[in-house]
């Protein structure tokens, strides 16, 4: 009885793939192409250069890089040193960057040339942080240090800041095991084909992009990284790069379909993984009409991306669902909240034992998202718990009201929030962007809602705006909507 049945270590994935798939394409990003052998060599060389800057076991190394081959190389180089990657959102302001550098205990930040000034300013503001450019490191000397030859599953790989919709972002510490199990669960659900190529138009600094970097080496599969999101470029990549799977959020997919103008995607495209919050029924319907193999997914940074995913073949039959939990993760609902347990659940929030203890109890991650499971175990995600509106004791799910507003032909998009009210506790308020100003008047939309919703769900105010505030991931920031709406006037009747 001498052998553990749950391994704690395994051969280093990129090195293993350089062995088994050395000549296969590992990465395409813009003009750059790398085989697994190339990537293995580059990662090793970059690791030795980083070592000359004092990077070693557990050093926290921030990345302020655009999507591209340097980012992917850095991910693997940092892993080989046993260091921890802190990917930074390139859209953050200097003060925000400085806060994250300091919060994450970063010692060195590696930036692309055009972000070097911001990295330097943020590093200086944070104090005790060194800023270097990727090119400087690449040109620097190399140290003859020992590099990791095995993956320790329990070791931290990265601290990824959540694209928080409220409060300060928290650093989510993800392990190599989190990524392994996420990749396995995804493969068991979506399958794994020899010719798979996974396109990442998502930022690699978010978990949705980062997880593709890891799947690539775990599967021996090429990833294609879009350097920025442009709907025409993404469509062209799907056509020309033999893409079989692409990860997107709703706003991206809408724009891709608009740009596509009804032209079908090639049959090789077998999965459009749609994350970043519940997808609208109209977007799903549009995909089904066009034969787009859309697979809605529910995931979060704290669970290393996908938690539940529909298989594209099920989307028509399970309208509105995000699918079943990916093996071996489990999902249950407690007081309306979605809980997740399994090996994809984060190590914890970095350096925040209290927040970790609140979020993960008895192994169950409390996601803060509301939803339910149907009789067959399919998950339906409703809303963030913090976005739930309680009006006169009744629960109002903003997503439900938003979906009804979006059904109106004059409405482009909508965000619904609760605003404080003396009589009812909260009342429903909407902010709307319009396709057609003439038809989508406040009176018309209220009438539209009244015909479809209980009275307490109908917005008491509707404000028209040019754009909704969004996170860099494309999610509507209801917190920002709430803050702006709370300052407006709210009628008292309900």
Residue numbers of the site for its own copies (CB under 8 A)? 1-8, 10-11, 13, 16, 19-20, 22, 153-154, 175-178, 181, 184, 187-188, 191-194, 218-220, 311, 313, 324, 327-328, 330, 342-343, 345-348, 353, 356-357, 360, 363, 376-377
- Closer residue to its own copies in complex, CB, 19/264: 19
CA–CA gap between residue 3 and residue 169 (Å, rounded): 41
**Short-list 153, 111, 275, 133, CA closest to 208:** 275
The DSSP output letter for 173 is: E
**And the tokens for 229?**
């999101």
Report the nearest approach of its own copies to the CB of residue 310 (Å): 10
Which residues on neighbouring strands pair with residue 308, listed in sequence order? 298, 325
CA–CA gap between residue 171 and residue 249 (Å, rounded): 22
Alpha-carbon distances of 364 from 347, 359, 413, rounded to whole Å = 12, 8, 34
Report the nearest approach of its own copies to the CB of residue 190 (Å): 9
- Closer residue to its own copies in complex, CB, 10/290: 10
Report the nearest approach of its own copies to the CB of residue 3 (Å): 5
**And the tokens for 63?**
């990345």
- Closer residue to its own copies in complex, CB, 54/191: 191
Alpha-carbon distances of 90 from 87, 112, 137, rounded to whole Å = 9, 10, 19
- Closer residue to its own copies in complex, CB, 122/346: 346
CA–CA gap between residue 35 and residue 57 (Å, rounded): 27
CA–CA gap between residue 319 and residue 286 (Å, rounded): 12
Contact 107, 180 (CB under 8 A): no
- Closer residue to its own copies in complex, CB, 65/218: 218
- Closer residue to its own copies in complex, CB, 314/412: 314
Concatenating the DSSP letter of every residue in 70-98 gives HHHHHHHHHHHTT-EEEE--TTS-HHHHH
Put the strands of the sheet holding 60-64 in their side by side order: 130-133, 108-111, 60-64, 84-87, 156-161, 171-175, 348-349
- Closer residue to its own copies in complex, CB, 47/218: 218
Report the nearest approach of its own copies to the CB of residue 8 (Å): 6
**And the tokens for 311?**
């298989």
- Closer residue to its own copies in complex, CB, 229/364: 364
**Helix, strand or coil, per DSSP, at residue 389:** strand
Helix (H) or strand (E) holding 354: helix 353-359
Report the nearest approach of its own copies to the CB of residue 414 (Å): 33
Report the nearest approach of its own copies to the CB of residue 177 (Å): 3
Report the nearest approach of its own copies to the CB of residue 207 (Å): 16
- Closer residue to its own copies in complex, CB, 4/487: 4
Report the nearest approach of its own copies to the CB of residue 12 (Å): 11
Report the nearest approach of its own copies to the CB of residue 9 (Å): 8
């Amino acid at each position: 009885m001498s052998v553990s049945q749950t391994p704690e270590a395994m051969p280093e994935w990129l090195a293993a793939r350089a062995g088994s798939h050395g000549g296969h394409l590992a990465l395409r990003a813009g003009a750059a192409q790398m085989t697994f052998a190339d990537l293995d060599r580059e990662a090793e060389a970059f690791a030795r250069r980083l070592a000359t800057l004092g990077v070693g076991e557990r050093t926290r190394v921030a990345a302020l890089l655009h999507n591209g081959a340097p980012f992917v190389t850095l991910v693997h180089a940092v892993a080989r040193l046993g260091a921890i990657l802190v990917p930074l959102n390139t859209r953050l302001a200097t003060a925000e960057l400085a806060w994250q550098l300091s919060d994450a205990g970063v010692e060195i930040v590696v930036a692309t040339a055009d972000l070097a000034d911001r990295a330097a300013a943020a590093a200086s503001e944070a104090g005790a942080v060194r800023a270097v450019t990727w090119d400087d490191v690449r040109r620097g000397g190399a140290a003859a240090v020992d590099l990791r030859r095995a993956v320790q599953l329990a070791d931290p790989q990265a601290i990824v800041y959540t694209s928080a919709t409220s409060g300060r972002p928290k650093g989510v510490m993800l392990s190599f095991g989190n990524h392994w199990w996420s990749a396995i669960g995804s493969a068991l659900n979506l399958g794994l084909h020899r010719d798979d190529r996974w396109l990442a138009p998502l930022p690699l600094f978010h978990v949705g992009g980062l997880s593709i970097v890891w799947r690539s080496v775990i599967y021996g599969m090429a990833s294609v990284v879009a350097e920025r999101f442009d709907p025409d470029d993404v469509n062209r990549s799907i056509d020309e790069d033999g893409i079989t799977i692409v990860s997107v959020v709703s706003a991206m997919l809408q724009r891709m379909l608009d740009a596509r103008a009804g032209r079908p995607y090639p049959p090789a495209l077998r999965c459009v993984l749609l994350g970043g919050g519940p997808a609208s029924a109209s977007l799903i319907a549009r995909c089904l009409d066009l034969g787009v193999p859309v697979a809605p997914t529910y995931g979060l940074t704290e669970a290393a991306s996908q938690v539940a995913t529909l298989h594209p073949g099920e989307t028509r039959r399970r309208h509105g669902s995000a699918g079943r939990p990916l093996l071996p993760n489990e999902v249950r609902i407690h007081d309306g909240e979605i809980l997740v347990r399994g090996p994809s659940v984060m190590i914890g929030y970095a350096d925040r034992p209290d927040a970790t203890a609140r979020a993960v109890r008895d192994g169950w991650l409390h996601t803060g998202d509301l939803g339910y499971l149907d009789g067959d175990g399919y998950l339906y995600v409703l809303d963030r718990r913090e976005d739930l509106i309680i009006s006169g004791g009744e629960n109002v799910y903003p997503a439900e009201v938003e979906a009804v507003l979006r059904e109106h032909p004059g409405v482009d998009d909508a965000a619904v929030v609760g605003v404080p009210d003396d009589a009812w506790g909260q009342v429903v308020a909407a902010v709307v962007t319009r396709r057609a100003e003439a038809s989508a008047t406040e009176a018309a939309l209220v009438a539209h809602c009244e015909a479809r919703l209980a009275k307490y769900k109908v917005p008491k105010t509707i404000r028209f705006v040019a754009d909704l505030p969004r996170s860099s991931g494309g999610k509507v920031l209801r917190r920002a909507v709430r803050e702006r709406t709370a300052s407006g006037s709210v009628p008292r009747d309900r």
